[in-house]
Amino acid sequence: MKFILLVSIFLMAKLSNAETLREKNNRQEMLKRVTLMMKATAEAREALKVEKVDTACEKVEVLFGLYPDHLTDVGGHMNAYKKKVTKFRETVMAQLIQVHHEVNTCRSGKEFENVDPELLNKNLKKLEVSLKRQHDFIEDQDTSHDNSFYYRYEF
């Protein structure tokens, strides 16, 4: 009798730590988006190595298109009361502003004459390192929360 009780408690403890399907889908969607963002950043850096600024600017535009959804998911599905998550969310917001600045720089001028390839490559390298950290952070964090998160940013 004690053995059955002990085994049932052990199984219940394992089930209580199990990841729900919704949480798993949220995490997979967030990881997929971050992977796409890392790929776009790497492709933009590769284009800058062969001095194709127009291709790099296209990839930066793709990156900018993914950032609002990424920020909304970070604010909406992660624990908003943890200090690390708050810092993470602020970092993502700062990166959204930075990428928006890069997109505006790419859009100004006819033949991308306002774009400094070295500075853009430096910023993309920092962004790529940060995205790798974000990928690892999302893998480790709980994504089961349903926060009502919104942000106000004029595009």
- Within 10 angstroms of residue 69's Cβ, the number of other Cβ atoms is 12
Residue 143: per-residue pLDDT: 83
Confidence of residue 58 (pLDDT cuts 50, 70, 90): very high
pLDDT, mean of residues 111-138: 92
Band of the pLDDT at 34, cuts 50, 70, 90? very high
14 backbone dihedrals φ, ψ, rounded to 5°: -65, -40
Q: What is the mean pLDDT of the segment spanning 111-133?
A: 92
Domain spans, the chain: 23-140
Q: What is the mean pLDDT of the chain?
A: 87
Is the pLDDT score of 142 beyond 90?
A: no
CB 41 within 8 A of CB 63: yes
Q: CA-CA distance, 144 to 142, in Å (whole number)?
A: 6
Separation of alpha carbons 115 and 121, rounded Å: 10
Q: What pLDDT was estimated at residue 51? A: 87
Asked if 65 contacts 100 with a C-beta cutoff of 8 angstroms, the reply is no
pLDDT of residue 146: 77
What per-residue confidence (pLDDT) applies to 122?
95
CA angle 31–136–19, rounded 5-degree value: 65
Percentage, residues of the chain above pLDDT 70: 92
- 23-140 domain in CATH 1.20.120? yes
Q: With cut-offs at 50, 70 and 90, classify the pLDDT of residue 76.
A: confident
